[in-house]
Amino acid sequence: MAIEEITVDELDTLLANGARLIDVREADEFQGFRVPGAVHVPLGTVPQQLEAFVGDGPTYVICLAGGRSMRACEFVSDASGQHVINVAGGSRAWVESGRPVETGAS
């Protein structure tokens, strides 16, 4: 099953409407900068944290550029059947678009 993707422009609108976003980067990357409201679930811990992807509607998944988040989406979709959508371009595209970020521990 192919994983859906969205742009950071689409993500911005979805987040304004309460969408759930999971960031699968490592802790130092997440603390360095992140999309406001993102929940941290490092890629290596995704198998133990499948419940973080459960909720009403799809869960959006982001990393730095889109590769790790795509792997997370594939795993979550295969393991649990949850509706997950990858953010193409990742956090880098978010920053390059000029949107605000959060820093530090969440």
pLDDT of residue 106: 72
73 as an active site residue: the answer is no
Residue 77 lies in a domain: yes
Least Cα distance to 82 among 27, 20, 28, 16 occurs for 20
Taking only the tens place, the pLDDT of each residue in 74-93 is 999 999 999 999 999 999 99
DSSP state of 56: S
| Domain CATH number, residue 74 | 3.40.250.10
Residue 26 lies in a domain: yes
Q: CB within 8 A of 47, min separation 6: which ones?
A: 75, 79
Residue 14 lies in a domain: yes
Determine the average pLDDT of the residues in 5-24: 97
- Name the catalytic one among 15, 38, 43, 63: 63
Residue 1 has pLDDT above 90, yes or no: no
The CA–CA distances, whole Å, from 81 to 16, 68, 95, 99, 106 equal 25, 18, 31, 31, 28
* Domain limits for position 54: 4-96
Taking only the tens place, the pLDDT of each residue in 27-78 is 999 999 999 999 999 999 999 999 999 988 999 999 999 999 999 999 999 9
Residue 62 lies in a domain: yes
* Bridge pairing between strands 84-87 and 20-23: unpaired
Residue 105 lies in a domain: no
Query: How many distinct structural domains can be found in the chain?
Result: 1
Residue 104 lies in a domain: no
Residue 39 lies in a domain: yes
Residue 23 lies in a domain: yes
